[in-house]
Amino acid sequence: MSEDKEIEIMQSVYDKNDQVAAEINLSLTKRGIFAVNVMGSPGAGKTSTLIQIIKRLNDITPFVIEGDIEADFDTKTLLSLGVKTIQINTGGACHLDSPMIGKAVDDLNIGKGMLFIENIGNLVCPAEFQIGEHIKMLISTVTEGSDKPYKYPLAFEKADLIIINKVDLIPYVDFDESFFMKGVRALNKTAPVIKVSCKTGQGFDDVVTFLKNFI
Amino acid sequence: MSEDKEIEIMQSVYDKNDQVAAEINLSLTKRGIFAVNVMGSPGAGKTSTLIQIIKRLNDITPFVIEGDIEADFDTKTLLSLGVKTIQINTGGACHLDSPMIGKAVDDLNIGKGMLFIENIGNLVCPAEFQIGEHIKMLISTVTEGSDKPYKYPLAFEKADLIIINKVDLIPYVDFDESFFMKGVRALNKTAPVIKVSCKTGQGFDDVVTFLKNFI
């Protein structure tokens, strides 16, 4: 197949995805549901971050769509905490797309509240696909190192909120915060960057304050 | 576009890739070059692992192809250590493919030795694409957590060598080694699993002993 043909096909995939995403977004907005696309590397602590946030939401009802290639550990954890959660297993696909979310939103029977959509652990592909969200929350970690914004620019560029997780490990790793921030700000002038630890709870009051602004 | 049409197109992409990969593999073998496809999450320590290995190769000449979406920090680091290295920037693509490697192998002008191809930091897509390698080396870390084999099975299934990096951080994180190993062995009965620390050098003599078996 020619390269032109491949590019044309990819464009058609993106266009179809974005159209469905826009429909989902509108439907969620009308129903009073604020949706957060949660992105980060494998093991960045996406589910642990959601648990810390959900604990602090008080009168806002949380819903979670859990994206994984396989397995459902995180869904089981969230359900055990009483959070209305549904699992999507992509069976190999490296990101969630909007048709998957459309179906999950229907199945989950969501009411007014805050919907967290935990994407596949991947700093590349999820950033390319709208899935009906209102904002993208990117979780980076001090253990991944401070060069991540330079190496995976799209995720940092598109994020509306950037969390630096695992700050409790700073004494034991080489994390250059000013180099990290320089990389972030070259791509993204406006997203708040909040340092957190899922171990200690540090920083999550600020995360929740930011999220509640949108409700 | 219909789903059938999309599947057909993806199959054509895989077939073309695998055909070029087989040609590269044969050409490398004939020239006495042993190639290692290095895979792992963002920040798993792929380059740091290569530095530790290369230090211990002694009479074997190392070559590196560095895959990144953007930036060339790791190439600069390796060049500063005197390692013959070439950068591939995919400009967005989430994995290396075999045509990229074919070109890089020609440009790098490789002789007899060991070629490390550092793939994009991603636990999903790189596992789907042959790039002419003789073995796949997967780098996981204790900071990512022990559920990774269950969530990203293909990478663990396809690996010929699995490294658990950052074991110096075990005292500060929750890493359940027996759960991790249970997940690995459900997918992969044969790959050695070696615990290492790029900070202390622990475990790398065993890694190099394993690699030298192939030369």
Please report, for residues B94, B115, B157, the alpha-carbon distance to residue B37 in angstroms, rounded to integers and kept in the order given: 15, 9, 14
Task: Quote the pTM value.
Answer: 0.95
CB atoms within 10 A of CB A55: 13
Is A42 in Cβ contact with B154 (below 8 Å)? no
Q: pLDDT band at residue B109, thresholds of 50, 70 and 90?
A: confident
Task: Tell whether A182 lies on the interface with B, counting CB pairs under 8 A.
Answer: no
Q: Is B213 exposed, middle or buried (0-12, 13-18, 19+ CB in 10 A)?
A: exposed
Helix (H, G, I), strand (E, B) or coil at B11: helix
- In DSSP terms, which residues pair with B37 in a beta bridge? B117, B136
C-alpha separations of A195 from A15, A42, A161, A179, B18 in Å: 35, 18, 11, 15, 43
In angstroms, the separation between the Cα of residue A168 and the nearest Cα of chain B is 9
Which pLDDT tens digit goes with each residue over B112-158? 999 999 999 999 999 999 999 999 999 999 999 999 999 999 999 99
Each residue's pLDDT tens digit, B7-39 = 787 788 889 999 999 999 999 999 999 999 999
Q: Check if the beta carbon of residue B102 is closer than 8 Å to that of residue B20.
A: yes
Helix (H, G, I), strand (E, B) or coil at B36: strand
**Helix or strand holding residue A15 (H, E):** helix A3-30
Which residue in chain A has the smallest CA separation from B165? A143
Residue B60 structure tokens = 């074997």
Any bridge partners for residue B120, and if so which? none
Tens place of pLDDT per residue across chain A (215 aa): 566 777 787 788 889 999 999 999 999 999 999 999 999 999 999 999 999 999 999 999 999 999 999 999 999 999 999 999 999 999 999 999 999 999 999 888 889 999 999 999 999 999 999 999 999 999 999 999 999 999 999 999 999 999 999 999 999 999 999 999 999 999 999 999 999 999 999 999 999 999 999 98
The SS3 call for residue B181 is: helix
Q: Two tokens at A177?
A: 């915060």
Bridge partners of A40?
A139
Question: Among B38, B25, B162, which residue's Cα sits nearest to residue B98?
Answer: B25
Query: What are all long-range contacts of B209-215, with beta carbons under 8 Å and residues at least 24 apart?
Result: B210/B161, B211/B34, B211/B36, B211/B53, B211/B114, B211/B161, B212/B60, B214/B34, B214/B134, B214/B135, B215/B34, B215/B60, B215/B114
**Are B43 and A42 inside 8 Å of each other by CB?**
no
A100 to chain B, any CB pair closer than 8 A? The answer is no
Say whether residue A123 is in contact with chain B using an 8 A CB cutoff: yes
- Shortest distance between the Cα of A109 and any Cα of chain B, in A, equals 26
Name residue A60's beta-bridge partners.
none
| A186: contact with B, CB 8 A cutoff | no
Predicted ipTM of the assembly: 0.93
Nearest CA to B144 out of A166, A14, A98 is that of A166
Kindly state whether A89 is in contact with chain B, defined as any CB-CB distance less than 8 angstroms: no
Q: Of A191, A189, A190, A194, which is closest to residue A206 (Cα–Cα)?
A: A194
CB-based contact (8 Å) between A81 and chain B?
no
CB atoms within 10 A of CB A146: 22
Chain B residues near residue A153 by CB distance under 8 angstroms: 69-70
Interface test with B, best of A68, A123, A200 (most B CBs within 10 A): A123
Element (H, E) at A62: strand A62-68
Q: Encoding tokens for residue B116? A: 């490390």
Least CB-CB distance to A144: which of B16, B42, B154? B42
Shortest distance, CA A19 to any CA of chain B (angstroms): 14
Distance from CA of B41 to the nearest CA of A (A): 6
